[in-house]
């Protein structure tokens, strides 16, 4: 059921941050964009991920984040998948490790996309309810051939 390739549901135009960016920038992006995780890249290479949890668990004051850098709080050992891995592989990682976002990389460990638990849920929902009008209008479904 989840044999579709990840590249068909992943977000390809990923909003990223650099290790040297201020944590305040990430804080602002979290609140303004409503995302919960940002891949951290050096050039095109994935070097980490920073999440809302990374900030919350440190119990930082709002103004403290402006003087801190992303590399001080990011996770540098990141679970990743490849574009041709199956959607089921992402679901398995999400369920086993309670992650909510997985960076997708190429053979050179360059970031090419991201897949989230929401993407997998939409994919599975559309398999069960292919005629749902609202979800058929979402961006990734237009190219996913679901």
Mean pLDDT by 10 residues, the chain (146 residues): 90 95 92 90 97 87 89 95 96 92 97 95 84 64 44
From residue 113, how far is each of 49, 59, 78, 132, 141 by CA, in Å?
13, 30, 14, 26, 16
Domain ranges of the chain: 6-144
What pLDDT is stored for residue 144 in this prediction? 46
Q: Which residues contact 86 (CB under 8 A, 6 or more apart)?
A: 2, 3, 4, 5, 6
What pLDDT is stored for residue 140 in this prediction? 47
What pLDDT is stored for residue 145 in this prediction? 42
CATH class (in words) of the domain with range 6-144: alpha beta
Q: Is 53 helix (H, G, I), strand (E, B) or coil?
A: helix
Beta bridge partners of residue 5, listed in sequence order: 86
Pairwise CA distance, residues 121 & 84, whole Å: 19
Kindly report the backbone phi and psi dihedral angles of residue 82, in degrees, each rounded to the nearest multiple of 5, phi listed first: -105, 155
Q: How many of the other CB atoms lie within 10 Å of CB of 141?
A: 18
What pLDDT is stored for residue 138 in this prediction? 61
């Amino acid at each position: 059921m989840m044999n579709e390739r990840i590249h068909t549901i992943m977000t390809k135009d990923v909003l990223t941050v650099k290790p040297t960016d201020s944590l305040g920038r990430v804080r602002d992006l979290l609140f303004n964009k409503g995302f919960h995780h940002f891949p951290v890249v050096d050039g095109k290479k994935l070097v980490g991920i920073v999440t809302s949890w990374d900030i919350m668990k440190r119990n930082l004051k709002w103004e403290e984040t402006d003087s801190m850098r992303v590399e001080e709080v990011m996770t540098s050992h990141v679970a990743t998948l490849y574009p041709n891995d199956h959607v089921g592989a992402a679901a398995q990682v999400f369920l086993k490790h309670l992650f909510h976002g997985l960076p997708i990389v190429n053979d050179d460990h360059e970031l090419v996309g991201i897949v989230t638990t929401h993407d997998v849920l939409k994919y599975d929902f559309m398999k069960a309810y292919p005629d749902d009008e609202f979800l058929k209008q979402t961006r990734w479904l237009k190219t996913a051939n679901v």
